């Protein structure tokens, strides 16, 4: 990565990856990346990004088993942490990552895309995510998912379904459903249970966000586990809680 792109990526990590203090989670140790089981064949990865002022924040993603390989949902929060995540996956799960899905064009979702591409792992995203990352200087995903380019669109990739509920936290935020485990990765469109604000709204669509949550709620009525982009895992109450924070 050249110096200009590195500087752009750093500024975007600060501007786009900013989260509220309510999302700060104390790690169990000094680890910067953690991998924990959610359901059989589904793991949550959590990376901890440290800002220059010393503040430390967490960011969630998923790892889903698909046959003899894995699907990664979102990178860790930066290139170095993504390297650590891949090493941890290899050590703990001993299966190869076959594909990655990034859920929108913010640094906490895509900043490790270069690492994945260098290792031959395709990085899939909403077509708009590719445009936004290229415009901003972040490393773009390698492949677009044309099936999610319209509101309500979905694509099945092995053990997961990728769904575009409509604009919310960002213009193109995706959600990922694991039907075999009843797990929904809501990403940054879903707020954790202790959140009292919407977090980073730099690229949010406040008027459409409630509609996106309602579409996801209706589509995944049998969801049991909901994973927000930041903060603690919960159940369908996280979708309801997010609605209470949004203008109606």
Is 106 assigned a catalytic role? Answer: yes
- Quote the number of domains for the chain: 1
Is 203 assigned a catalytic role? Answer: no
For the domain that residue 218 is a member of, what is the CATH number?
Answer: 3.60.15.10
Report percent pLDDT > 90 for the chain: 76
What pLDDT is stored for residue 19 in this prediction? 35
Q: Which long-range contacts (CB under 8 A, 24 or more apart) does 134-139 make?
A: 136/8, 136/12, 136/16, 136/105, 137/4, 137/5, 137/8, 137/9, 137/12, 138/8, 138/9, 138/12, 138/105, 138/107, 138/110, 138/111, 138/113, 139/1, 139/5, 139/9, 139/110, 139/111, 139/113, 139/114
> Considering 104, 126, 230, 241, which one is annotated as catalytic?
104
> Considering 45, 60, 106, 230, which one is annotated as catalytic?
106
Q: What is the pTM of this model?
A: 0.87
Is 200 assigned a catalytic role? Answer: yes
Is 108 assigned a catalytic role? Answer: yes
Is 68 assigned a catalytic role? Answer: no
pLDDT tens track for 99-158 = 999 999 988 899 899 999 999 999 999 999 999 998 888 888 999 999 999 999 999 999
Task: Give the range of the structural domain holding residue 233, as residue numbers without chain letter.
Answer: 3-244
pLDDT tens track for 21-75 = 223 333 344 569 999 999 999 999 999 988 788 888 899 999 999 999 999 999 9
């Amino acid at each position: 990565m050249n110096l200009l792109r590195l500087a752009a990526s750093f500024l975007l990590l600060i501007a786009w990856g900013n989260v509220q203090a309510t999302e700060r989670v104390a790690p169990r140790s000094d680890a910067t990346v953690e991998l924990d089981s959610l359901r059989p064949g589904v793991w949550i990865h959590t990376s901890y990004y440290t800002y220059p002022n010393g503040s430390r924040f967490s960011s969630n993603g998923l790892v889903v088993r698909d046959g003899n390989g894995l699907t990664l949902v979102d990178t860790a929060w930066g290139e170095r942490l993504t390297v650590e995540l891949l090493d941890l996956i290899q050590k703990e799960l001993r299966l190869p990552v076959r594909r990655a899905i990034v859920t929108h064009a913010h640094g906490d979702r895509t900043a490790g895309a270069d690492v994945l591409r260098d290792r031959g792992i395709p990085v899939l995203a909403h077509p708009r995510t590719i445009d936004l990352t290229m415009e901003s200087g972040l490393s773009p995903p390698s492949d677009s998912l044309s099936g999610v380019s319209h509101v309500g669109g979905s694509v099945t990739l092995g053990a997961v379904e990728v769904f575009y509920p409509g604009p919310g936290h960002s213009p193109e935020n995706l959600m990922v459903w694991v039907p075999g485990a009843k797990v929904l990765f809501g990403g940054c469109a879903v707020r954790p249970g202790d959140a009292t604000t919407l977090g980073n709204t730099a690229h949010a669509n406040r008027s459409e966000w409630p509609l996106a949550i309602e579409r996801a709620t209706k589509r995944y009525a049998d969801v049991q586990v909901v994973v927000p982009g930041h903060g603690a895992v919960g159940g369908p109450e996280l979708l309801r809680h997010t609605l209470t924070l949004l203008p109606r």
